[in-house]
């Protein structure tokens, strides 16, 4: 599983680790790409996917108080980050790749939105995924 966070015209693509407790956690490095630069976005997605999901120790609450992504995005809080961004989660399954896109509730928070999910062939390229993410993000009015 990998995340592509889109805020305004920028994509943030961190590595995603699996903790010993079994949940997933964004970790560094974070690749930053402009949506209009599909080559850079595709490279960021490809690099994140190639890194897999390394296992890391489960952090305590004190160790993970503030998500590091908000600093990369230039905002102070997760709420501010979430309000003007979307998360595209890439899942690789048996013979397919799925991208799950967050929707938004009335309070401006992310929600699961299965109607926005898209399935690709398992041999789809990082460029195919980048092109789809950029197109979807550019059609959203809540990211400006």
Break the chain into its structural domains and give their ranges: 2-84+126-139
pLDDT of residue 64: 75
The span from the CA of 9 to the CA of 138, in Å, is 8
The beta strands (E) that lie in 8-136 are given as 10-19, 24-34, 55-56, 85-93, 96-104, 110-112, 118-121
The span from the CA of 114 to the CA of 108, in Å, is 17
pLDDT in tens, 14-64: 999 999 999 999 999 999 999 999 999 999 999 999 999 999 999 988 887
Query: Percentages helix, strand, coil for the chain, rounded to the nearest 5?
Result: 30, 40, 30
């Amino acid at each position: 599983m990998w995340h592509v966070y889109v805020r305004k015209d920028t994509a943030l693509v961190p590595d995603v680790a699996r903790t010993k407790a079994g949940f997933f956690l964004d970790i560094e490095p974070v690749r930053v790409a402009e949506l209009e630069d599909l080559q850079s976005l595709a490279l960021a997605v490809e690099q994140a996917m190639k890194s897999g999901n390394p296992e890391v120790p489960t952090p305590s609450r004190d160790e993970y108080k503030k998500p590091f992504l908000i600093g990369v995005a230039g905002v102070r809080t997760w709420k501010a980050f979430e309000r003007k961004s979307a998360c595209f989660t890439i899942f690789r399954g048996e013979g397919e790749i799925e991208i799950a896109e967050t929707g938004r509730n009335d309070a401006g928070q992310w929600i699961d939105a299965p109607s926005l999910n898209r399935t690709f062939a398992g041999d789809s390229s990082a460029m195919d995924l980048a092109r789809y993410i950029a197109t979807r993000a550019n059609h959203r009015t809540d990211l400006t």
